[in-house]
Amino acid sequence: MWTALSEHLFPLFCSNDGRIVLRAVDLADIKFAAFHDLGLTDAVIAATLGDNLLLTDDLDLYLAVTGKHDAINFTHMREAAGNL
């Protein structure tokens, strides 16, 4: 069900054909796979991260950007500090 919904919503949010809901980012950088796996907000974060460091507690977002961007997961920091 989520796949069908995301296939329907992706062009509405992430296409450059004039039906754009968001204009603050280059929507062409948002990939369908990221949109489907992460949702709109996290897909925009991943697409616009650039050279910035990502601080997150969202494991899916962290895993999606690791290897391409610098990222720190708060849960990993808490585990290292012995707080979990």
Report H helices in 1-84. Answer: 2-13, 32-38, 40-48, 59-65, 74-80
Threshold 0.75, pTM exceeds: no
How confident is the model at residue 33, as a pLDDT? 79
Q: What is the pLDDT of residues 52-76, one digit of tens each?
A: 899 999 999 999 999 999 999 999 8
- Report percent pLDDT > 90 for the chain: 25
Give whole-number Cα distances, 78 to 22, 56, 65, 82, in Å. 35, 12, 20, 6
Give whole-number Cα distances, 18 to 5, 12, 14, 42, 54, in Å. 20, 9, 10, 22, 30
